Chains A and B, each alone.
Chain A
Amino acid sequence: MTPSLNRKKTVLVVDDSPMNRELLIDIMGDEFNVVEAENGEQAVAAVLRLGLGVSLVLLDYVMPGMDGLEVLEVFQKNGWIKDIPVVMLSTESDPKYIERAYELGATDFLVRPFDANIVLHRARNTIMLYSKQRMLYGMVADEINERERDVNLMVAILSHIVEFRNGESGRHVLRVRMLTELLLTYLADKTDAYNLTPDDISLISMASSLHDIGKIAISEAILNKPGRLAPEEFEVMKTHAAVGAEMLENLPMGQGERLVQTAHDICRWHHERWDGRGYPDGLKGDDIPISAQVVALADVYDALTSERVYKPPYPHGKALDMILNGECGTFNPLLLDCLRENADDICSQVEDVSLDGNRVSDSGYTMRYVADSLAESMDEGKASREFDLMEYERMKYAFFAEMSNEIQFEYAADPSMLIISSHGTMNSGLPDIVADPIDDERMTKMFRREDLLDLDRRLRATSPENPIVNLEMKANLNGKPRRLAVVARSLWSEEDEPAYVGALGKIADVHDGRATAQSIDA
């Protein structure tokens, strides 16, 4: 259990009138932890600081600076409104304003004059509704994950049985599955030619586990024969592809299912070759379904890197060379590109599967896990426990930040707002929140405006892949010239074309030597 400082839910009261805030605190203070904000800017800063630690926002409309509707807009734009309910405090009865607030995602209105009981009940109900929704969401997600885990387990057991006759451990199937998933992911990044959705990738990867089920029809004498197979024995061995497909065709149920169809294609065609010289049908190029093409490549790679009765395991690099040189069949050039370009990644991921190979066989553990997590969700909601954990992490983070000799900041680009989350031990004299920091006098008194513009320009010039900016600037700290090192990271929206939304970073005083600067480079 995470240590929690305060079991009370936190309510953020946003109102420019101290009387109004006091009245709400007086009404709610016994039951809730009330955090105050005097204006819209402080409200946004409080949510940036406390995150989902805020269970409810009570928001006034008429305020100097950013008003209630503008705060709602920020909530909507940042996606907070989905997780944090906002109840508007209102003396306004203008229908246009009420309509707009609902449009922006306000949950409800508390119309003045305040009635103590209504305020309390509405706060309780709104918080309960949201936390129940979060809890249900978590439970459904957990359930789906568990179901998927069980299905995977069944498939793993089935393929283990097939391999068991083969004298193998079942790890081959796991690794082929992992390789299939990796290759398909790289392929989908590289080209739209195969219309691979995440759903397709997961389905094909799962079906890949069944690629060798036809081998249960092959006699153990041939299957486990040490040394080379005679030509007629090899012909028998080759039938496993068509036999596996037939087994699925004759399945009394599930004929329309995509999983069965995909598994069928993989079974039948995972020994076809790109040049048309494979078996059983001699299909060529993209006549071979992409599922079977990928599994064929994964199968060959894993066969090369695994020990067999007739050969030692080849190292990753050697296996790669053999495949790319065409010594082990011919493959779709696009797939070979994927293999080549991601060779290191593939090597390390497959190693991980090998080490963790027994994880799917421990069904007792899986069942216990399902039971425990369900009991937890029913009990008091795992979701709320995660929030406790977040609160704890925040507390820990805030403590270390305060103890450091750095200023830590967050910057939101729209509306342009700088939030100093920790002043550390550096006594900068800056306020916690600065709107439009580049044009703010308190900022330009301490920093040179061109340095601020330079930092802003550099952050905007970064990309989601390379978001870090390092620079030094001169500053005037309490009347003394100081050299400061800034390291910042840009933040980007999650849209298809990510937009710059702000940054976070820290500023350290490096005037007295490089030691501090190096510690922030790490």
Chain B
Amino acid sequence: MTLDACYALMGGNLEEVRGRLRSDERVAKFARFFRSDETYASLERSWEQRAMAEAFRAAHTLKGVSRDLGFTPLHVASAELADVLRPAKEGGAVDEAAAEKLMEDVKRAYDKTIEALNVLDD
């Protein structure tokens, strides 16, 4: 599948990414790279262990990476999750119910993104 079709499937913003990263090869290289990136796994793991500071860092990284690559739905969901988890950075309490719901949003967006990336031509 082409880059255009892949981004259309996940609801990403390819044109904006093309403008910033300057070449389709680079966009495709990092889109494929994302399939094996550990950040989401680290988010799930730390959330399950309720290691909130670590979960915040992972959500924050996921937000940055998905923004860079124009994975819009994943970026929106992870940005909201990072905001809710942020107090943990300074050792504060986290609204777990809100985070729980946002974790589900992130998971849905992540799965959809990966599904689209998996059908990208190698």
Contact = CB atoms under 8 A, between A and B. Distances in A.
Given A64-B54, A112-B67, A113-B68, A20 B22 contact: no
B78 to A, nearest CB: 10
Given A91-B67, A113-B68, A114-B68, A19 B21 contact: no
A509 B33 CA distance: 45
Contacts of A433: none
Contact of A112 (B19, B38, B39, B64): B64
A19 B37 contact: yes
Interface string A1-37: 0000000000000001111101100110000000000
B108 to A, nearest CB: 21
A117 B26 contact: no
A63 interface: yes
A383 interface: no
A420 B84 CA distance: 40
Contact of A17 (B22, B39, B54, B89): B39
Interface in B14-46: 17, 19-22, 26, 29-30, 33-34, 37-39
Contact of A20 (B17, B20, B21, B65): B65
Interface residues on A, range: 10 to 19
A63 B20 contact: no
B57 A116 contact: no
Given A91-B64, A113-B17, A114-B20, 16 more contacts: A16-B61, A17-B37, A17-B39, A17-B61, A17-B65, A18-B38, A20-B68, A23-B30, A26-B30, A62-B57, A62-B61, A64-B54, A113-B68, A115-B19, A115-B20, A116-B20
Nearest to A89: B64
Contacts of B17: 113
A83 B57 CA distance: 30
Interface residues on B, range: 20 to 34
Contacts of A62: 56-57, 60-61, 89
Interface of B: 17, 19-22, 26, 29-30, 33-34, 37-39, 54, 56-57, 60-61, 63-65, 67-68, 70, 89
Contacts of B29: 26
Contacts of B57: 16, 62-64
Interface string A57-70: 00000111000000
B61 A20 contact: yes
Contacts of A27: 21
B66 to A, nearest CB: 9
B60 A91 contact: yes
A115 B21 CA distance: 6
A115 B27 CA distance: 12
Contacts of B63: 91
A59 to B, nearest CB: 14
Interface string A62-101: 1110000000000000000000000000010000000000
A114 B68 CA distance: 6
A23 B23 CA distance: 13
A190 B69 CA distance: 67
B30 A22 contact: yes
A122 to B, nearest CB: 14
Contacts of A114: 20-21, 68
20 contacts: A16-B61, A17-B37, A17-B39, A17-B61, A17-B65, A18-B38, A19-B39, A20-B64, A62-B89, A63-B57, A64-B57, A91-B67, A112-B67, A112-B68, A114-B21, A115-B19, A115-B20, A115-B21, A116-B21, A116-B22
Contacts of A116: 20-22, 26
A116 B65 CA distance: 14
Contacts of A26: 26, 29-30
Contacts of A113: 17, 20, 64, 67-68, 70
A65 to B, nearest CB: 11
A396 B17 CA distance: 44
Given A26-B29, A62-B57, A62-B89, A19 B65 contact: yes
A116 B89 CA distance: 30
A372 to B, nearest CB: 44
